[in-house]
Amino acid sequence: MNPIRVGLLGLGTAGGGTYDILLRNREEIARRAGREIHVVAAAVRDLAKARRRVGDAIRLGTDAQAVVDAPDVDIVVELMGGIEPARSLILSAIAQGKHVVTANKALLALHGNEIFAEAHKRGVMVAFEAAVAGGIPIIKALREGLTANRIQWIAGIINGTSNFILTRMRDLGASFADALAEAQRLGYAEADPTFDIEGIDAAHKLTIMAAIAFGVPMRFEHAYTEGISGLTAQDIRYAAEFGYRIKLLGICRRSGAGFELRVHPTLIPERRLIANVDGVMNAVLVRGDAVGPTLFYGAGAGAEPTGSSVVADLVDVTRTHTADPDHRVPHLAFQPDRVTDLPVLPISEVETAYYLRLRALDRPGVLADVTRILGDRSISIEAMLQRQPETGEVHVDVIILTHRTVEAAMVEAIAKVEALASIVAPVVRIRLERLDA
């Protein structure tokens, strides 16, 4: 059988990794796919750099549309990133009846509803395994392996850059800036690293997982997002004293008539496997009603882990592109006419436990005032620690762990606590999840 022919849009970290794997494992991949997969053309911005990487083996140009339009390109692989021109190029490929593979989670989270609707109309596949958790086949697992289950919740470490930064800060005492620079050098970070450190990239990935898990449209605009740039080494240390680690978690959970969709730094018990996922590694904990908890672990970023997922999609498309579109696995796991638009719960209505750090005057009655404010709002304290003041110091750190409460009650309580004359700095508040049943 003739090889299937691929046009790459982008030959950077992800594109380069994909290209290298397709060359190195050519034979093995062909044995699995049923035919060879050949890259015939690629579009880049810097031709000289790309030429140094791939020599004369493929057609290179700066016109991405020309790659999409090329009659000898069967599958378009979009690995350039960003919203435009990636969106228009993908829609153009779909309109021409070409299958698409992409790693572009930002694009899918924002425009996935439009892209998948067009792909469904044209009967083409848009595959996106690399868009979530790099090399971990979590899309396949959610869409196929766990298809018997009603998914109850997902909690994931789904941004390698921020996990790498948190690990370096905790283990080596590295500064935030140095750890970020190292992640950028290693090719983990997004073109705009704010996406990584402010939780936006994780929210893109969470949006995609929630859609597949719950059979809902992409609702990125309703995701709650809080990053790691405000975290201090001091809170990482205090959390450890209570037996917790702080991770940037993406959490989606069925809740009442809707679902939660939130990304924020989170204390998790250090005895949980997921609390020990360090460096650029990602992990996704999925709880299904039949299977119970399942944990998926692997490299969340980098050239070859990302390429591994892109090539898996290419093999899938190669195997099934001649199948009747109605008999393929639906893009978002649920049949398109059975996707239901459920409401996303506002963060003020979400229920979690909390870690609070207060800077207080060391004098009688302070703790009584604080506990009364919490008690008045039915916020129950689980543990408390007061540090001895340094010699000559009149202020002390008070750490409180609470049981679960609604966020709105905690926001109100914090405002009251901060208004006390004995509290001398803003209260640090980090959400806490035990990740049990």
- Residue 134 in contact with ligand HSE, rule: CB under 6 A: yes
- Residue 301 in contact with ligand HSE, rule: CB under 6 A: yes
Instruction: Spell out where 205-343 has E strands.
Output: 224-225, 244-255, 258-269, 281-288, 292-299
- Residue 201 in contact with ligand HSE, rule: CB under 6 A: yes
Give which of 396, 418, 415 is closest to 407, Cα–Cα: 415
- How many CB atoms within 10 Å of residue 334? 18
- Residue 352 in contact with ligand HSE, rule: CB under 6 A: no
Strand 75-78 vs strand 4-9: parallel, antiparallel, or unpaired? parallel
- Residue 300 in contact with ligand HSE, rule: CB under 6 A: yes
Q: What are the backbone angles phi and psi of residue 343, rounded to the nearest 5°?
A: -75, 145
- Residue 434 in contact with ligand NAP, rule: CB under 6 A: no
* 205 a catalytic residue: yes
Instruction: Please identify which residue in 19, 116, 128, 188 interacts with ligand NAP, judged by CB under 6 A.
Output: 188
CA atoms within 13 A on the CB side of 179: 23
Instruction: Please identify which residue in 74, 190, 235, 304 interacts with ligand NAP, judged by CB under 6 A.
Output: 190
264-303: contacts with ligand NAP (CB under 6 A): 301-302
- Residue 37 in contact with ligand HSE, rule: CB under 6 A: no
Query: From the list ligand HSE, ligand NAP, none, which binds 159 (C-beta under 5 to 8 Å, kind-based)?
Result: ligand HSE
Six-digit token pair at 434?
A: 């035990």
Query: From the list ligand NAP, ligand HSE, none, which binds 85 (C-beta under 5 to 8 Å, kind-based)?
Result: ligand NAP
Give which of 182, 224, 176, 231 is closest to 203, Cα–Cα: 224
H or E element in which residue 390 lies: none
- Residue 73 in contact with ligand NAP, rule: CB under 6 A: no
From CA 67, how far away is CA 211, in angstroms rounded?
A: 30
From CA 187, how far away is CA 14, in angstroms rounded?
A: 9
- Residue 313 in contact with ligand NAP, rule: CB under 6 A: no
Number of residues that bind ligand HSE (CB under 6 A): 11
Nearer to ligand NAP, 236 or 310 (CB): 310
* 221 class by beta-carbon count within 10 Å (0-12 exposed, 13-18 middle, 19+ buried): exposed
Distance in Å, CB of 350 to ligand NAP, minimum: 27
Instruction: Please identify which residue in 161, 225, 266, 352 interacts with ligand HSE, judged by CB under 6 A.
Output: 161
Q: Which are the contacts of 203, defined by CB distance < 8 A and separation ≥ 6? A: 109, 220, 223, 225, 250, 261, 263
Instruction: Please identify which residue in 76, 79, 115, 286 interacts with ligand NAP, judged by CB under 6 A.
Output: 79
Number of residues that bind ligand NAP (CB under 6 A): 29
* Binding residues for ligand HSE (CB under 6 A): 134, 159-161, 188-190, 196, 201, 300-301
Please identify every residue annotated as catalytic: 205
